[in-house]
Structures are given as C-alpha cells and as structure tokens.
Amino acid sequence: MNDCIFCQIVKGEIPASKIYEDEKILVFLDVNPSTNGHMLVIPKEHYQDLFNLDEEIITHSVKVIKEKLYPLIKSKLNCDGLTICQNNGYGQEVKHFHIHLIPRYNDDGFVNSYNKDILLPNDQVYSTLIEK
C-alpha cells in the first residue's frame, strides 16, 4: 500500500534501523521504544491486522524470534525476559500487522496500565462470553 509507512520501510523509501530480514518478514527498531531494543516484526506483504493475516507469517515469525531475535537480544543487551504484544484495531496506530518485541530488564519500569474502575466482575464477563 502506497500510503502505509511500514510498506514504505519494506520498499526502502523511508529509513529504519533494520535488525533482520528474509523473504517473508522484516524486523526493525521501534522509533519510540518502550525499553532498550524494542523492535517490530512485520510481514513484507501488507496485511492490516491478525484477522486477515496469512497464518504462516505467525509460525515463521515465532521461529525467527526463538532462533534468532531472542538469542541476539539476550546476548547483546543482556535482557531478563521478553514481552510480546500485538494490537488489532483499537490501540493500533499503524495499520500494517506488526508484533512488538519488548526486551525486559529487572526494574525497567515498563507498565501495562489499565483502568480497574471500568472492569466488570469476571463471572458477568464469563456468562456473556459463553451464553447460548
């Protein structure tokens, strides 16, 4: 897609700090990192989100994360763990599927915040989800 910023990165039209690339995926540093080494795994082909993605991209990405990216992050940045997240629709700033890899360090201060005041009781949510 011409107006997609990640497609433009794939095509080399705008710069990115590339970490890994193969025929299916590209990995580069997030310009606004949550922790040191925060990177994005994207398919080279444009998919908006998880719901129209070729599932093979997930399988391939997990293999690359396990075999190449996590060992790299662990050995070079000495992280203590890895948080993986992925937004679809609401909360998704860039409408080109991407997986966030957020290296975690002891006492890194990273927080996934949410508003407890608007949470429904879990039994209410459960009955809504499973009602016939």
Instruction: Closer to ligand AMP by CB, 83 or 92: give it.
Output: 92
Collapsed DSSP state (helix, strand, coil) of residue 109: coil
Residue 8 CB partners (closer than 8 Å, separation 6+) = 14
Minimum CB separation of residue 81 from ligand AMP in Å reads 19
List residues binding ligand AMP (CB under 6 A): 5, 16, 28, 30-32, 40, 87, 91-94
Among the options 60, 96, 98, 100, which is catalytic?
Answer: 98
Identify whether the C-beta of residue 40 lies closer than 8 Å to the C-beta of residue 30.
yes
Is 98 tagged catalytic?
yes
Q: 41: burial class by Cβ within 10 Å (0-12, 13-18, 19+)?
A: buried
Distances (CA, A) of 114 to 32, 119, 120, 126, 131: 20, 9, 13, 19, 26
Query: Smallest Cα–Cα separation from 43: which of 86, 7, 85, 4?
Result: 7
Minimum CB separation of residue 15 from ligand AMP in Å reads 8
Report d(CA 69, CA 63) in Å as an integer.
9
Minimum CB separation of residue 47 from ligand AMP in Å reads 13
Minimum CB separation of residue 123 from ligand AMP in Å reads 31
Instruction: Closer to ligand AMP by CB, 59 or 88: give it.
Output: 88
Instruction: Closer to ligand AMP by CB, 32 or 128: give it.
Output: 32
Instruction: Closer to ligand AMP by CB, 84 or 119: give it.
Output: 84
Active-site residue list: 98
